[in-house]
Amino acid sequence: MLIKIDGKECGCKHGEFILEVAKRNGIEIPNLCHHEGLPGQGCCRVCIVEVEINGWRNIVTACVYPLERECEVFTNSPRVIKQRAMVLALLHSLAPGSSEVSELCEKYNVPSYRRFVKKNDTKCILCGLCAKACESLGTGAISTVNRGTGKAVTTPYGEPSYECVGCASCAKVCPTGAIMVEEGAGSRKIWGKKIPLLKCKKCGEPAGTYMELRRAAEKLGEGMPELCEACRKKEIAEKLASIYGY
Amino acid sequence: MPEQNITYEDITPLLLKYPKDQRHALAIMQDMQRHFNYIPRKGLEALADYLGCHISGLYSMATFYKSLSLKPKGRHIIKVCDGTACHIRGAVNLVSGIERVLGISADEVTGDGEFSLELVNCLGSCALAPVMVVDDEYYGKVTTDRLPEIFDALRGEARP
Ligand code: SF4
Ligand code: FES
Ligand code: FES
């Protein structure tokens, strides 16, 4: 199937999302809550574009809009520019502490609306990617709680979670770096919980928390890993090299 | 019932009414709310255990829905409408009247656990504004001088 994005012809598969096709073709569509490993969040609305089918134009969210027929996509039409500016302005008032959001505001010339009150300096845009990551890893230590203006991401009862293994995947997927991870000498602190880190036997760098490594080992049915990710990869590469005699 | 007096014997029958399936989570939580007047922590933990799911997901639901609460509510729940019509006809006075009579403001519970107060939006009876609902009983055109009488009659009366 062929579609046009900003005048450029792009090939795509039936059902593919606009954002993927655009990315493959080097067309930039700003986005925050999209993560390749955890698709379908579709809640920040920064990725909106305009789609024209049979002369009808609609604003859609590029990260979750499946391409089902030939169409033309506009990523910078006047309507997109205007509505995206509003979305960004709202996100900025929700998360004034986020440099990612302020940078997008600057990049897309978002005016500052005085009627949007900034209540705090949080970085969180409440996209829920962190909770989704935690859930999909089978840990399920955090979730979105409350609703409306009180909505937030926390552990149950706001207490250090006994389920959290300290893998910090939530912090890794967070588009705005809103989750605090403190890595000290021998431990990592996240969601109010301190978990000891294991050191890599080879390079001495932290290989991960004790709990996350044990969880991974259990899942794989292997013993506790002794090396960090980088050294593990290096070891595999060396093994392959010796097998194939590079 | 305070949390420390709640036992698993109290909770288990509520769980066993439903099959072990996550789609019943909300129904079970509603039953707990009705039974204990709130969702005790032990209840939430037992439910997670029963359904084999994470407590975080249940906690998320319990904090999302207004009809569920994690803190004990009063035996009688007073809902004062603060929708447009009631607001204009003095819902705010009603709220301060209740504050004077019972000493609680919105989302609080009286010390004896008899009453809790909630503000709601239009109850669909604007002609009766300002409207107050206590335990599903409607009171229309409420004036603050009627409040002591209404609450006195309810005090000590069994919960419906
Ligand atoms: S902490 Fe980050 S990932 Fe989680 S909801 Fe907030 S912005 Fe999204
Ligand atoms: S990236 Fe598409 S809605 Fe957030
Ligand atoms: S506004 Fe109170 S019943 Fe309609």
Residue A68 shares a structural domain with residue A155: no
Cis peptide before B130 (omega within 30 of 0): yes
- Indicate whether B31 belongs to any domain: yes
What pLDDT does A189 receive?
93
Residue A176 shares a structural domain with residue A79: no
Structure tokens at B62: 């319990």
The beta-carbon neighbor of A143 closest among B41, B44, B59 is B59
Residue B54 shares a structural domain with residue B84: no
- Indicate whether A33 belongs to any domain: yes
Residue B109, SS3 per DSSP:
strand
CA distance B31 to B47: 12
Residue A200 shares a structural domain with residue A237: yes
- Indicate whether B22 belongs to any domain: yes
Q: Side chain identity at A213, as an amino acid letter?
A: L
CATH number at residue B86: 3.40.30.10
Residue B81 shares a structural domain with residue B147: yes
Sign of the alpha-carbon dihedral angle for A132, A137, A140, A142: negative
- Indicate whether A120 belongs to any domain: no
Radius of gyration of chain A (CA): 22
Query: What pTM was computed for the model?
Result: 0.85
Mean pLDDT, residues A219-242 taken together = 84
Residue B80 shares a structural domain with residue B129: yes
- Indicate whether A116 belongs to any domain: no
Gap from CA of B78 to ligand 2 centroid (Å)? 41
Range(s) of the domain holding residue A81: 2-107
A124 lines ligand 1 (CB under 6 A): yes
- Cross-strand bridge partners of residue A2: A11
A164 touches chain B (CB under 8 A): no
Q: Ligand 3 atom closest to Cα of B87? A: 1
CATH number at residue A84: 3.10.20.740
Residue B41 shares a structural domain with residue B90: no
What is the longest distance spanned by two Cα atoms in chain A?
Answer: 67
Report the mean per-residue pLDDT for chain B.
Answer: 92
A60 touches chain B (CB under 8 A): no
Residue B92 shares a structural domain with residue B145: yes
What pLDDT does A240 receive?
84
Confidence of residue B160 (pLDDT cuts 50, 70, 90): low
Residue of A nearest to B68 (CA): A146
Look at residue A76 and tell me whether its pLDDT is greater than 60. yes
- Give the number of whichever ligand sits closest to the CA of residue B121: 3
CA distance B76 to B115: 5
Q: Ligand 3 atom closest to Cα of B128? A: 3
Residue A50 shares a structural domain with residue A136: no
CA distance A32 to B72: 39
Residue B83 shares a structural domain with residue B151: yes
Substitution target from B39, B60, B70 for chain A, most A beta carbons within 10 A: B60
Contact yes or no for A143 and B44 at CB 8 A? no
Closest CA to B28 of B75, B76, B68, B73: B68
Contact yes or no for A143 and B53 at CB 8 A? no
Residue A75 shares a structural domain with residue A152: no
Report the mean per-residue pLDDT for chain A.
Answer: 92
Residue A88 shares a structural domain with residue A139: no
Residue A149 shares a structural domain with residue A78: no
Provide the number of structural domains found in chain B. 2
Provide the number of structural domains found in chain A. 2
Closest CA to B40 of B11, B14, B3: B3
Range(s) of the domain holding residue B18: 3-64
A140-189: pLDDT as tens digits: 999 999 999 899 999 999 999 889 999 999 999 999 999 999 988 889 99
B31-81: pLDDT as tens digits: 999 999 999 999 999 999 999 999 999 999 999 998 899 999 988 999 999
Residue B118 shares a structural domain with residue B87: yes
Residue A133 shares a structural domain with residue A239: yes
Residue A145 shares a structural domain with residue A216: yes
Residue B81 shares a structural domain with residue B50: no
Residue A9 shares a structural domain with residue A65: yes
Residue A88 shares a structural domain with residue A142: no
- Indicate whether A123 belongs to any domain: no
What pLDDT does B20 receive?
95
Residue A63 shares a structural domain with residue A18: yes
- Give the number of whichever ligand sits closest to the CA of residue A32: 2
